[in-house]
Amino acid sequence: MHSDLFRDKKGVHIKLDKDVHAAFRKQLFDHGVSMQAIFNEFARLIGSGNRTALQLLNAFIKRRLQDEIEKHKLPNAKLDELDHEALYNMISEEGSSDPITEEKDTENEDYRHTG
């Protein structure tokens, strides 16, 4: 019987939309980086509490919550006090800019393949 306790790596399977996969793969290929390497690096950054990676994560969570609210929004619906406070806190977090929508030039400078 195998045990993952004695392995240094953990396998992860994800599904991506075909168009997302193609665009992602092209960008990584253009920079000479594998999907495994970039997913590992992003997971490492989030796990270590990297500020920029956590900002990306928080921006994604905010957009996802906003999408869910819009999907279930009823005319004249009121949020209860806890929902309202939680959403307000998330939206008004200090330094809560959306790094995904920032200029791509800065992003590309940080991750160019130099090898």
Specify the pTM: 0.55
With beta carbons less than 8 A apart as the criterion, state whether 86 and 46 touch.
no
With beta carbons less than 8 A apart as the criterion, state whether 55 and 97 touch.
yes
Give the residue, 10 or 43, on which the prediction is more confident.
Answer: 43
What tens digit of pLDDT does each residue of 39-96 get? 999 999 999 999 999 999 999 999 998 888 887 776 655 666 666 667 767 776 654 5
- Residue 81: its pLDDT value, please? 61
Greatest extent of the chain over all pairs of C-alpha atoms, in Å: 57
- Structure tokens, 78: 């009121």
- What amino acid is encoded at 107 in this protein? E
Distances (CA, A) of 14 to 17, 21, 36, 39, 115: 10, 11, 11, 11, 28
Report domain extents, the chain: 29-98
